[in-house]
Amino acid sequence: MNRFNPRKLGLSKWTACQPVNREKHFLVTELICDEHGTPLQIELQAVHSGRKQLLDWQELRDSQRWKIGWC
């Protein structure tokens, strides 16, 4: 399990353990919060293609799928 503070996810770097379409490195470009400031979702941008996707921020805790930083 990856440990991190969800409020500090903005502009953090991530590596996918099983890359798809040569997209391995990602950058958190936006942190989407509710009206109380609680994080709900993140917007991940693939460095290779620039494709963006929305994910539940808790998916990044899965160390089988994601590694912190660019490896």
Q: Give me the residues paired with residue 28 across strands.
A: 44
Edge-to-edge strands of the sheet including 13-20? 52-56, 39-46, 23-33, 13-20, 66-68
The whole model's pTM is what?
A: 0.92
Residues of the chain with pLDDT under 70: none
DSSP 10: T
CA distance 67 to 62: 8
Question: Residue 5 has what pLDDT?
Answer: 94
Q: What whole-number distance in Å separates Cα of residue 48 and Cα of residue 3?
A: 26
CB 35 within 8 A of CB 53: no
6-68 is a CATH 1.10.3470 domain = no
Chain segment 31-49, per-residue pLDDT in tens: 999 999 999 999 999 999 9
Q: Which amino acid appears at position 33 of this protein?
A: C
